[in-house]
Structure 1
Amino acid sequence: MRNRVTKKTARWGAIGAAALVFSSGILPPHNIAEAQERYYQRRSILDFFLGRRYIDDYPPAPNESAPPRSIPKKKKTAPKATVAAPRPAPPVAPPEEKAVEKLDTAQKILVVGDFLAGGLGVGMDAAFQDSPGVVIETHSNVASGLVRDDYYDWPSQLTKFMDESKPAMVVVLLGANDRQQMVTDSGKEKFRTDGWFAEYQRRVASFGKEVTARKIPLLWVGLPAFDSPAMTADALQMNQLYRKQVESVGGEFVDVWDGFVNENGEFIVTGSDINGQQVRLRTSDGINLTEAGRRKLAFYVEKPVRRILGTQASPDLVRLDSSNVPALDLSSNPADHTDPISLSDPNLDGGTALLGGAAQPVSTGKSPRDRLVQDGEMAPPPAGRVDDYSMTPAKPAELSAK
């Protein structure tokens, strides 16, 4: 115990003396340098937990500059080669479809009507863009109809358009703006009254007769459903009127109602397009048509148009003149082509007469048919066939021997 205390006392005494000498500035120079060098060395974790203290735990003596701390140099490593990520290829724009050149003899389809007819004309342009024998010509007035003839006189305008374009067919889509008061010879008639419907029927029939009287096919397109229930109910009633009056003058009514309602007969904004995909057909106002809706509206008209025009509306129709004949260079080797041969040439097969020109050989005997019909004789069957009964019957002695 005594020795332990003595050693502890001696240790602390030594440390105190060293501190006194260090603080008074009388530490030998070689000890100062050694202390400064040890001051900058790291202590281990054992020194921290065991409480070991050295002279290097004290700062260097005054007026002595501390040596610069040596920082271990890091090994220079070659920079890693960075591989740039491959840039995505720029999107390739789809090739623009070349418009089919229309023939000089292409038939014109005249589309007339209100704002819906304008969209129908756009859809029909897309429907017949690949048909060189069909040209679509559209004349529409957004706010027009058959009621306000003081604003736009459709009967006179129709006559003007037909005289100018000489159409092969007329397509009409009117009525969306006609739900309003009408001025007649007898006065003003409110919408939905009997007088209003009577005058409106007369105007529809007269308008259609302007077309059919010229022996031009007439297609009258019905109104689609609308977002407003009142407009939808009126459109249903007016479609019935259109069908009756147009058919009475020799025209054809095109019903498009099922394409813009659901299975319950309700108005839809989104529905199937001509390819069966779900798309938006109507705009936010519930009245106008989107691009897909216009194309679907034209789809209903496209079918009767192709039926009436026949091959004229076919996309395979080509120009039948010298402008599209491929160039044939026969000057290089005349043996590459064969001269045409007449079908009546007897030398076609190396003979001197046409087939059937020689006399047929005459048979002196009767044919198997004649022997069967006239004499009742049947030609003997080939040997071994199922109906060959020409086997020689066995004799009784042969049977007994067996």
Structure 2
Amino acid sequence: MRKRVNRVTLRWGAIGTATLVVFFSALPVHIADAQERYYYRRSILDFFFGRRYIQEYPPQQAPSQNAPQRQPAPRKKAVAPKAAAAPRPAAPAVVEEKVVEKLANAQKILVVGDFLAGGLGVGMDAAFRDSPGVVVETHSNVASGLVRDDYYDWPQQLTKFMDEAKPAMVIVMLGANDRQQMVTDIGKEKFRTDGWYAEYQRRVVAFGQQVTSRKIPLLWVGLPAFDSPAMTADAVQLNQLFRKQMEGVGGEFVDIWDGFVSEGGEFIVTGSDINGQQVRLRTSDGINLTEAGRRKLAFYVEKPVRRILGVQASPDLVRLDTGNTPAIDAVAMPGRTEPISLSDPNLDGGAELLGGRAFPVSATKSPRDLLVQDGEMAAPPAGRVDDYRMAPMKPTAQVTIK
């Protein structure tokens, strides 16, 4: 047992010695000469076989134990050249909107109704912005109508508005909020019943007569289509009622239906504006109107308004300020002027009226006279296809074959 341990110890001792020899032999050995040109490296092969490997370095690259090792300089990151800053676009010139001054005696258009009438009033302001003889005044209540007179009494309010404004025309747009139960003197009437339509018709007639009884022109604007099929169907029936009753009270019904539906009669969100461009006419709820929709709504009403008001609604109407008129000298005024006869030929500096001079007479007949009167046709130019004066071709000699 003791011998066995000694063998193991000897073996481990030999292995350790060999390991140490290999370790130390692997270390580089420097030979100091004049220039430190040679660098000897010993390995385990040198230990057993005596081989040596010599590697030569140039003097400037020869490693030195005392020379401090230089740290590699950090690389500078390449910085891309900055692009020249683009010039800022010039700010758009602010175009000042020309404000047309209204005349002191401008005629006033009174627009009354619910939320749709409020949008109509905005569109009418834009339509008559350049007309100095027209002023638009709008009174609208968003949730009002002719059904809930307990919430907003339109007959009473209309009388007050007309007394204050003294309008030259009244435009009404109501009915979008009237699709609900109505309280009458008899009781409550549900929407779409015969009793409801009878009472609603009576209220429409009474409301219209408040305007026409004062000899004021009345325009009743119909309802547009809505995104809801039920609301659209009710709007069709209410428009029929409005049209029929306006004919009886002396008002005029303005139909705007075609401007807010497709060719098939369906509700549309986007359509043509007053310039023919495709724009959004309705808001996302399918009920209200956008700015372009309001202007289009006023476009339908603008036509009858200009027809009724006439020259007063023209944008070319100007005001004559009598305070700045030039003084007229009474001495320089001409005397009495004799009436001018329309048949006086001396007004144009000539001796005869226009058209009174006889046409010049030609000694020869024109090609038309030759053809119509004498039946003679002028000779065509030589060489043209209808020139039949060409000499006939001579007949060729006939050859007989025997």
Deviations 1:291-328 (A, max 9, x none): 11111111100111011111111111111114787x99
RMSD, aligned α-carbons: 3.6
- 1:2-401 to structure 2, matched below 5 A, reads 25-28=30-33, 30-32=34-36, 54-56=55-57, 60=62, 63-65=65-67, 84-322=84-322, 342=334, 385-386=363-364
Once the two structures are superposed, residues 190-218 of structure 1 have per-residue CA deviations (whole angstroms, 9 ceiling, x without a partner) of 11111111111111011101101111000
1:70 Cα deviation (Å)?
Answer: 12
Identity value in percent: 69
What amino acid is aligned across from residue 35 of structure 2 in structure 1? N
Pair 1:301–1:27, CA change in 2 (3 A): same
Instruction: Indicate how the Cα distance of structure 1 residues 171 and 66 shifts in structure 2: closer, same or farther if over 3 A, else same.
Output: same
Q: State how far apart, in whole Å, the 2-side matches of 1:226 and 1:235 are.
A: 8
Instruction: Classify the secondary structure of the residue corresponding to 2:35.
Output: helix
Q: Which residue identity lines up with residue 64 of structure 1 in the other structure? A: N
Aligned-pair distance for 1:143?
A: 0.8
> In 2, distance between residues paired with 1:70 and 1:197?
99
Contact 1:23 1:61 (8 Å CA) reproduced: no
Question: Secondary structure in 2 aligned to 1:286?
Answer: coil
Superposition deviation, residue 88 in structure 1: 3.1
User: Relative to 1, partners in 2 of residues 1:300 and 1:65: Cα closer, same or farther, differing over 3 Å?
Assistant: same
Does the CA contact (< 8 Å) of 1:100 and 1:130 recur in 2? yes
Give the partner amino acid of 2:256.
V
- The one-character-per-residue Cα deviations of 1:347-393 (angstroms, maximum 9, x if unpaired) are xxxxxxxx89xxxxxxxxxxxxxxxxxxxxxxxx99x8349xxxxxx
Distance 1:31 1:228, change over 3 A: same
1:183 shift after superposition: 1.2
State the one-letter code of the partner of 2:274. I
**Unpaired stretches in structure 2, ≥5 consecutive residues:** 1-24, 40-52, 74-79, 339-345, 348-359, 366-402
Deviation of 1:247 (Å):
1.3
Structure 1 residues 23 and 271 mapped into 2: Cα distance closer, same or farther (>3 Å)?
closer
Tell me if the contact between 2:201 and 2:241 (Cα under 8 Å) persists in the aligned partners: yes
After the TM superposition, which of the residue ranges 120-129 and 182-191 deviates more from structure 2? 182-191
SS of residue in 2 equivalent to 1:172: strand
Judging by fraction of residues, say which structure has more helix: 1
- Mapped contact 1:222–1:239 kept (Cα < 8 A): yes
1:299 and 1:151 map into 2 onto residues whose CA distance is 31
Q: Distance in 2 between matches of 1:342 and 1:277?
A: 57
Q: Alpha carbons of 1:229 and 1:57: their partners in 2 closer, same or farther (altered >3 Å)?
A: same
Whole-angstrom distance in 2 between the partners of 1:53 and 1:35 = 7
Deviation at 1:93, TM superposition (A): 3.7
Give me the whole-angstrom Cα distance separating, in 1, the residues matched to 2:110 and 2:256.
Answer: 19
8 Å CA contact 1:133, 1:313 repeated in 2: yes
SS of residue in 2 equivalent to 1:223? coil
Q: Distance in 2 between matches of 1:145 and 1:251?
A: 19
The answer to whether the 8 A contact 1:120-1:297 is kept is yes
Give the counterpart letter for 1:31 in structure 2: Q
Deviation at 1:94, TM superposition (A): 3.6
Q: Distance in 2 between matches of 1:66 and 1:201?
A: 111
| SS, match of residue 158 in structure 1 | helix
1:123–1:295: 8 Å Cα contact kept in structure 2?
yes
Counterpart amino acid of residue 287 in structure 2:
I
Residues of 1 paired with 2:163 and 2:102: CA distance? 21
Deviation at 1:106, TM superposition (A): 0.7
Cα separation, 1, equivalents of 2:146 and 2:228:
21
The Cα shift of 1:189 comes to 1.1
Aligned residues: 301
Per-residue CA deviations over 1:32-80 (Å, capped at 9, x if unaligned) read: 2x679xxxxxxxxxxxxxxx98411898465431686999xxxxxxxx9
Kept in 2, the 8 Å contact 1:171–1:221? The answer is yes
1:295–1:55: structure 2 CA closer, same or farther, 3 Å change rule?
Answer: same
In the TM superposition, residue 181 of structure 1 has moved relative to its aligned partner by 1.0
* C-alpha contact 2:38 2:54 (8 A) present in aligned 1: no
- 1:334 maps to none
Q: What's the CA shift string for 1:113-145, capped at 9, x where partnerless?
A: 011101110111111111111100000111111
Q: Classify 1:55/1:315 alpha carbon distance in 2 versus 1 (closer, same or farther; 3 Å).
A: same
Contact 1:208/1:251 (8 A) holds in 2: yes
